[in-house]
């Protein structure tokens, strides 16, 4: 994990260009390799990879609507990724993004439908808070199971995903089902449309780009401050950095890990709430868009740093949007993008070995030169 | 509820349970090997998906079930090599590499399915083979001895895996590498090689698990065919305390609950299907919470081994 390197770069005061270069170069090499393997797959499928990738870039960046779409998809990626940064920094592997997004989305649908007469200025913030709380609760369950009963969080979060999906399916076919669909006899598995005062404002008219993107960027800065400028954030990082040392210095390791998982759930919950409030304006199947998994890719790619996750989310948002237009233009299913994302994960975590060894070598060299403070 | 208590229904539930346990058994026994050597392979579901696709595709075009099974084994081996390269040679964080492998398998199988098959089709898979004499025992014969070859294979795997892990030098090597890789290394055991073999063996069995779905139990392929069964298989290894017999009990408990919820729906008992589908997952979390096997967990599980460290 590139964690140790960032630790060092954060502590030295001059800018560590070599460190930034290595931390940037290896992930980029990883994505290039993944795209290369994707190209081989395209050739096997008898599609010219250059045409396909040109369509991908054109779809993501070639037009105003493409760029705004990219930012719309980058928003949940960033929000989920922020939670992943917190969790992974505490050595907690949160695979439960999908379920936490759903929990947030359900809450952010139910709340404004229940209090639909409230004015927007009070309804919107409370809905976001409720979404955060629901996601946090969904992260708290595996968190407390890990802290109290040592239940492996990787497995419990996966199970929580499946439970969330079924809960949502149940709700949108029963109590949350759109009454209009019932009257019309279509029985569509979706909720009623949310009252308009709770919709997130469009930043650019005629596009999908909504204020949620700004909220996500602000939260990224807040998470950065939380992790590096507060005691609580320091404790969370200490727990992940060296649990033994953290324990001996009096930090409650299980508590902080449960807290990290709860916060991670909260951020995924906001992602779900913002998908509902900004994009769909109702709850329906497939609301997660797989962001619970692709958010992990964005966070890893951003070096598990909240600010690094911002450009990483835009990159992967572009990949998702480009994948859709590639599907339309050259009939390559966008599942190719999921496969490429998987390879990116493998290559990025695989390349951490070299980052680690490179850092170690540099430290030894620095110590030999006599400027070695570890 | 009274119709649930009829003998024919109970026989039906148990017969389905034995069938449903098959993919869990292959995948979880395979994962037991990988985890015993210290590697948490979370990509089981991805391996199952690609293998299920590969075997289905081969059977669809050749009609030869054994070739289909071979395809699943080859795909499993290749994905196992990829996983071991990342997690053993490159010493990557295992949980995250497993998720990468899962996403890769999910995307790849869907991509291949959409481009080469397109719509949901069915094939004639492995048929039930009645074992002479034993198959004629009332009730028990139908439940245990009138199943397809892959089902028998899954249950035979349990004693074989036990024997390999407990009674052979290889089993000892696998467990020593999972408990204390540094000590094993100092005694001349190649940690990396043992882990490669264990992960690849686990991946091959995950491949067979995938094939058991697409060419034996369901006889079809569709997007995300496994629906997370590979993850449940990983959980079963924890539940079973890293022992093949424990895994067997876990798989049976799980598939009986699953068969029960399927029959409840078939019989039209009024509970929402979403709640019924949720049951096995709730059960898994509960099982993980109450299970007391954690002391048996391989000490080096999820810890990459590097010489000169620790």
Q: Which residues contact B93 (CB under 8 A, 6 or more apart)?
A: A1, A93, A349, A352, B304
pLDDT of residue A74 exceeding 50: yes
| Pairwise CB contact (< 8 Å): B99 & A341 | no
pLDDT of residue A315 exceeding 50: yes
Task: Identify the three-state secondary structure at position A326.
Answer: helix
Structure token digits, residue A142 = 């595996």
Q: What is the pLDDT of residues B265-281, one digit of tens each?
A: 777 777 777 887 888 88
CA distance A185 to A172: 15
Q: What is the pLDDT of residues A239-249, one digit of tens each?
A: 988 888 888 98
A-chain residues within 8 Å CB-CB of B42? 154
A193 at B interface, C-beta within 8 A: no
| Pairwise CB contact (< 8 Å): A339 & B103 | yes
**pLDDT number for residue B310:** 44
Give the residue on B whose Cα is nearest the Cα of A172: B274
Give the residue on A whose Cα is nearest the Cα of B82: A346
Structure token digits, residue A328 = 């339309």
A352 at B interface, C-beta within 8 A: yes
pLDDT of residue B291 exceeding 70: yes
When pLDDT is cut at 50, 70 and 90, the band that residue A257 belongs to is: very high
pLDDT of residue A145 exceeding 90: yes
Give the residue on B whose Cα is nearest the Cα of A353: B90
Give the residue on A whose Cα is nearest the Cα of B236: A155
Hey, of A41, A152, A171, A289, which one would you mutate to test binding to chain B, going by the most B CBs within 10 A of its CB? A152
Q: What is the pLDDT of residues B153-162, one digit of tens each?
A: 999 999 999 9
CA distance A351 to A367: 25
Give me the percent of chain A exceeding a pLDDT of 70. 95
Higher-pLDDT residue of A227 and A26 is: A227
CA distance A107 to B86: 39
How many A×B Cβ pairs under 8 Å? 146
A271 at B interface, C-beta within 8 A: no
Q: What is the pLDDT of residues B7-65, one digit of tens each?
A: 778 888 888 899 999 999 999 999 999 999 999 999 999 999 999 999 999 999 999 99
CB-based contact B13:B243 (threshold 8 Å): no
Q: What is the pLDDT of residues B171-222, one digit of tens each?
A: 999 999 999 998 988 888 899 999 999 999 999 999 999 999 999 989 999 9
Q: What is the mean pLDDT of residues A69-88?
A: 95
| Pairwise CB contact (< 8 Å): B285 & A160 | yes
Smallest Cβ–Cβ distance between A159 and the set B92, B275, B281 belongs to B281
When pLDDT is cut at 50, 70 and 90, the band that residue B2 belongs to is: low
Q: Which residues contact A22 (CB under 8 A, 6 or more apart)?
A: A5, A355, A358
Higher-pLDDT residue of A307 and B94 is: A307
A-chain residues within 8 Å CB-CB of B238? 152, 155
- Mean pLDDT score of chain A: 88
Write down the residue that tokens 């009730």 correspond to: B139
Cα–Cα distances (Å) from A202 to A212, A220, A263, A279, in that order, read: 9, 21, 28, 10
Q: What is the pLDDT of residues A179-201, one digit of tens each?
A: 888 888 788 888 889 888 888 88
**pLDDT number for residue B94:** 86
Residues forming beta bridges with residue B130, ordered by sequence position: B146
CA distance B82 to B206: 14
pLDDT of residue A4 exceeding 50: no
pLDDT of residue A374 exceeding 70: no
Backbone angles phi, psi at A190, to 5 degrees: -155, 165
Structure token digits, residue B236 = 């079963």
Backbone angles phi, psi at B23, to 5 degrees: -60, -35
- Residue B147's H or E segment, with its range, is strand B146-148
Q: What is the mean pLDDT of residues A298-319?
A: 92
When pLDDT is cut at 50, 70 and 90, the band that residue A37 belongs to is: very high
**pLDDT number for residue A15:** 67
**pLDDT number for residue B125:** 84
Q: Which residues contact B103 (CB under 8 A, 6 or more apart)?
A: A293, A297, A338, A339, A341, A342, A345, B46
Q: Which residues contact B251 (CB under 8 A, 6 or more apart)?
A: B21, B24, B25, B28, B236, B240
A-chain residues within 8 Å CB-CB of B103? 293, 297, 338-339, 341-342, 345
| Pairwise CB contact (< 8 Å): A156 & B238 | no
Q: What is the mean pLDDT of residues A94-113?
A: 95
**pLDDT number for residue A5:** 45
When pLDDT is cut at 50, 70 and 90, the band that residue A9 belongs to is: very low
Q: What is the mean pLDDT of residues B66-72?
A: 96
């Amino acid at each position: 994990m590139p964690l140790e390197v960032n630790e060092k770069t954060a502590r030295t005061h001059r800018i560590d260009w070599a460190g930034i270069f290595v931390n940037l170069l290896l992930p980029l090499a990883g994505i290039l390799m993944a795209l290369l393997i994707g190209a081989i797959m395209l050739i096997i499928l008898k599609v010219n990879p250059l045409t396909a990738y040109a369509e991908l870039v054109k779809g993501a960046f070639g037009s105003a609507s493409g760029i705004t779409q990219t930012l719309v998809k980058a928003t949940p990626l960033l929000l989920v990724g922020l939670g992943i940064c917190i969790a992974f920094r505490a050595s907690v592997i949160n695979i439960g993004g999908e379920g936490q997004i759903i929990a947030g989305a359900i809450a952010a649908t139910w709340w404004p439908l229940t209090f639909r007469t409230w004015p927007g200025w009070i309804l919107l913030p409370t809905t976001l808070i409720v979404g955060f709380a629901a996601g946090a609760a969904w992260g708290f369950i595996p968190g407390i199971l890990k802290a109290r009963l040592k239940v492996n969080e990787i497995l419990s979060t996966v199970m929580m995903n499946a439970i969330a999906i079924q809960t949502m399916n149940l709700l949108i076919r029963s109590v949350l089902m759109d009454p209009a669909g019932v009257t019309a006899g279509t029985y569509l598995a979706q909720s009623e449309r949310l009252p308009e005062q709770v919709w997130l404002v469009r930043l650019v008219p005629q596009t999908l780009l909504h204020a949620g993107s700004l909220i996500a960027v602000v939260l990224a800065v807040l998470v950065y401050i939380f992790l590096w400028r507060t005691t609580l954030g320091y404790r969370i990082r200490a727990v992940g950095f060296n649990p033994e040392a953290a324990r001996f210095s009096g930090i409650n390791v299980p508590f902080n890990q449960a807290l990290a998982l709860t916060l991670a759930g909260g951020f995924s919950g906001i992602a779900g709430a913002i998908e509902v409030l900004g994009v769909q304006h109702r709850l329906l199947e497939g609301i997660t868009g797989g962001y619970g998994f692709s958010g992990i890719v964005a966070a890893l790619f951003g070096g598990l740093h909240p600010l690094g996750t911002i450009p990483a989310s835009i990159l992967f948002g572009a990949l998702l949007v480009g994948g859709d237009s590639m599907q339309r233009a050259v009939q390559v299913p966008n599942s190719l993008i999921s496969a490429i994302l998987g390879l990116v994960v493998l290559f990025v975590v695989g390349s951490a070995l070299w980052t680690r060894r490179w850092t170690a070598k540099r430290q030894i060299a620095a110590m030999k030169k006599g400027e070695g403070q570890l | 509820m009274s119709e649930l208590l009829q003998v024919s229904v109970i026989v039906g539930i148990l017969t389905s349970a034995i069938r449903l346990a098959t993919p869990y058994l292959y995948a979880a026994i395979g994962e037991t090997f990988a985890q015993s050597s210290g590697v948490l392979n979370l990509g089981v579901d991805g391996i199952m998906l690609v293998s299920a696709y590969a075997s289905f595709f081969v059977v669809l075009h050749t009609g030869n079930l054994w070739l289909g099974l071979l395809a699943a084994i080859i795909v499993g081996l290749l994905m196992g090599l990829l996983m071991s390269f990342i997690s053993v040679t490159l010493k990557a964080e295992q949980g995250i590499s497993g998720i990468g492998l899962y996403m890769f398998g999910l995307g790849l199988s869907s991509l291949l399915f959409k481009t080469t098959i397109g719509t949901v089709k069915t094939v004639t898979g492995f048929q039930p083979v009645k074992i002479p004499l034993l198959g004629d025992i009332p009730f028990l014969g139908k439940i245990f001895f009138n199943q397809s070859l892959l089902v028998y294979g899954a249950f035979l795997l349990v004693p074989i895996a036990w024997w390999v892990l407990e009674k052979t030098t290889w089993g000892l090597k696998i467990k020593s590498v999972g408990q204390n890789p540094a000590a094993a290394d100092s005694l001349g055991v190649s940690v990396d090689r043992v882990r490669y073999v264990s992960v690849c063996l686990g991946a091959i069995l995950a491949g067979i698990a995938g094939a058991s779905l697409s060419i034996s139990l369901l006889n079809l392929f569709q997007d995300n065919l496994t629906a997370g069964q590979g993850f449940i298989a990983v959980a079963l290894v924890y539940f079973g305390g890293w022992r093949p017999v424990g895994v067997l009990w876990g798989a049976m408990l799980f598939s009986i609950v699953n068969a029960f919820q399927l029959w409840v729906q078939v019989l039209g008992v009024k509970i929402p299907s979403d709640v019924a589908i949720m049951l096995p997952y709730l059960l898994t979390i509960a099982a993980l919470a109450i299970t007391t096997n954690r002391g048996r967990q391989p000490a080096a599980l999820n810890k990459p081994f590097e010489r000169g460290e620790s």
